[in-house]
Amino acid sequence: MITHSVRHPVLLRATTPSLRHITALRSCRQPRRLLPSSARTMSYNTSIPAFQSLLSSLGPNSRILALCGAGLSASSGLPTFRGAGGLWRNHDPTSLATPEAFAADPALVWLFYAWRRHMALKAEPNDGHKALAKLAEVKGASGFMCLTQNVDGLSQRAGHPAAQLKPLHGNILTLKCSSPSCNYIEHQNTDDPLCPALAAAAQDYPPDQPIPLLDAATPLPEIKRADLPHCPACKASSASSSSLLRPGVVWFGESLDSDMLMGVENWIYRGPIEVMLVIGTAAAVYPAAGYVRKAKRRGAVVAVVNPDPAAAEGLGPEDFWFGGDAAEVLPALFEGLVGRIGE
Ligand SMILES: NC(=O)c1ccc[n+]([C@@H]2O[C@H](COP(=O)([O-])OP(=O)(O)OC[C@H]3O[C@@H](n4cnc5c(N)ncnc54)[C@H](O)[C@@H]3O)[C@@H](O)[C@H]2O)c1
Ligand SMILES: [Zn+2]
CB of residue 119 inside a 6 A radius of ligand 1: no
Q: Are 150 and 69 in contact (CB under 8 A)?
A: yes
CATH code where residue 199 lies: 3.30.1600.10
Distance 72 CA to ligand 1 centre (A): 7
Same domain flag for 176 and 263:
no
Residues with catalytic function = 169
**Domain-ending residue, one of 214, 249, 284:** 249
Same domain flag for 49 and 157:
yes
Distance 258 CA to ligand 1 centre (A): 23
Same domain flag for 111 and 189:
yes
**Domain-ending residue, one of 215, 249, 283:** 249
Which domain covers residue 289, as residue numbers? Answer: 1-23+40-78+125-169+256-343
Same domain flag for 224 and 242:
yes
Whether 139 maps to a domain, the answer reads yes
Ligand 1 atom with the shortest distance to the CA of 311: 39
Which parts are annotated binding residues?
Answer: 177, 182, 231, 234
Task: Return the bridge partners of 249, or none.
Answer: 170
Predicted TM-score of the model (pTM): 0.90
Whether 29 maps to a domain, the answer reads no
Same domain flag for 44 and 193:
no
- The answer to whether the bond into 36 is cis (omega within 30° of 0) is no
Same domain flag for 137 and 224:
no
Which parts are annotated binding residues for Zn(2+)?
Answer: 177, 182, 231, 234
CATH code where residue 343 lies: 3.40.50.1220
Please report, in tens digits, the pLDDT of each residue of the chain (343 residues total): 333 333 444 566 655 444 333 222 122 233 456 777 644 456 899 999 999 999 999 999 999 999 999 999 999 999 998 766 678 888 998 899 999 999 999 999 999 999 999 999 999 999 999 999 999 999 999 999 999 999 999 999 999 999 999 999 999 999 999 999 999 999 999 999 999 999 999 999 998 988 899 889 999 999 999 999 999 998 767 655 789 999 999 999 999 999 999 999 999 999 999 999 999 999 999 999 999 999 999 999 999 999 999 999 999 999 999 999 999 999 999 999 999 997 7
Q: Are 130 and 157 in contact (CB under 8 A)?
A: no
CB of residue 193 inside a 6 A radius of ligand 1: no
**Which residues, 6 or more positions from 43, have their beta carbon under 8 angstroms from its beta carbon?**
316, 317
Same domain flag for 193 and 334:
no
Same domain flag for 205 and 323:
no
CA pair distance 248, 236, nearest whole angstrom: 21
Distance 98 CA to ligand 1 centre (A): 17
Ligand nearest to the CA of 172: 1
Same domain flag for 133 and 243:
no
Same domain flag for 165 and 241:
no
- Give the number of domains in the chain: 2
CA pair distance 102, 252, nearest whole angstrom: 12
Same domain flag for 273 and 141:
yes
Same domain flag for 149 and 6:
yes
